[in-house]
Amino acid sequence: MKLLIDNADIEQIKRIYDLYPIDGVTTNPSILAASGRHPYDVLGDIRAFIGDDADLHVQAVARDAAGMIREAKKITEELGRNTYVKIPCVPEGFKAMKALSAEGYNLTGTAVYTPMQAYLAAKSGAKYIAPYINRIDNMGYDGVQVAKDIHDIFTANNMEAGLLAASFKNSQQVLELAKYGVLAATVSPDVIDAFVKNTAITSAVDAFIADFEKLTGPGKTMADL
């Protein structure tokens, strides 16, 4: 499963990239708004930092297909043709996806709450489909199960699209989908940090260091001997 950062704070992106094995960055209009910066300034900084080969996902906001198509052209001119344009899975979005996929654009179907949206987006040529796990949970349904159903639909129908599962609020939601073998998950920095935020882990490492220092002296490591 690929692991992406769902955030546009360049300092947070640099910090998480430094620590963990990360495959790219996703944004949405709310995430860009939180940055308080011009969208192409912040996205340009992200692209420059992650490099041309890493996945970068940027959402279109137009309500009609013609507007989404114009945005896809501008987004990829500014940020590279390999940038994934996120298109909301609404009727005008499917129309835009069909036209853009025919021209070879990389597309992510987003704002996915139901398997039928995912099926239509995959058929319309999106390579990634982004179900919103926690938002589905908050509606009283099972977000992880919806994502598994979408994965099963793609497998059963030999569809090329894969999941870019999104909107996570805890490690368990991510873990369940890693076990299921979905293509990718995009996760906020605080939830990525929480993957390994566990006193059992830190106290085990502290005990190893304390034992080693009893043997070799304070601050010594295997490199110093």
127 included as an active-site residue: no
What's the min distance (Å) between Cβ of 46 and ligand E4P?
13
How far apart are CB 9 and ligand E4P at their closest, in Å?
14
Q: Which two tokens stand for residue 161?
A: 């699209």
Type of residue at 135 = R
The residue among 77 and 190 lying less far from ligand E4P, judged by its C-beta, is: 190
> Radius of gyration over alpha carbons of the chain, in Å?
20
Among 92, 135, 153, 183, binds ligand E4P (CB under 6 A): 135
**Site map for ligand E4P, 2-21, x if CB under 6 A?**
----x---------------
For residues 63 and 29, give the distance between their C-alpha atoms in angstroms, rounded to a whole number. 13
Stretch that binds ligand E4P, among 12-20, 32-40, 132-140, 147-155 (CB under 6 A): 132-140
Alpha helix stretches (DSSP H) within the chain: 10-19, 29-35, 39-50, 65-79, 91-102, 115-123, 133-138, 143-156, 171-180, 189-194, 199-216
Torsion sign over Cα 34, 37, 38, 39:
negative
Please tell me whether residue 28 binds ligand E4P under the rule CB under 6 A. yes
The neighbour count for residue 118, using CB atoms within 10 Å, is 27
Site size toward ligand E4P, by CB under 6 A: 10
- Among 188, 176, 207, which Cα is nearest to 13's? 188
The residue from 14, 74, 86, 123 that is catalytic is: 86
Whole-number minimum distance, CB 6 to ligand E4P, in Å? 5
Between residues 4 and 96, which has the closer beta carbon with respect to ligand E4P? Answer: 4
> Does residue 26 bind ligand E4P (CB under 6 A)?
yes
Residues numbered 153-212 forming contacts with ligand E4P, rule: CB under 6 A: 166-167, 186
Residue 50 CB-density burial (10 A; 0-12 exposed, 13-18 middle, 19+ buried): buried
Binds ligand E4P by CB under 6 A, chosen from 105, 119, 128, 132: 132
Q: Which is nearer to ligand E4P, 98 or 135 (CB)?
A: 135
Kind of pairing, strands 128-131 and 184-187? unpaired
Asked if 11 contacts 49 with a C-beta cutoff of 8 angstroms, the reply is no
Binding site for ligand E4P (CB under 6 A): 6, 26, 28, 130, 132, 134-135, 166-167, 186
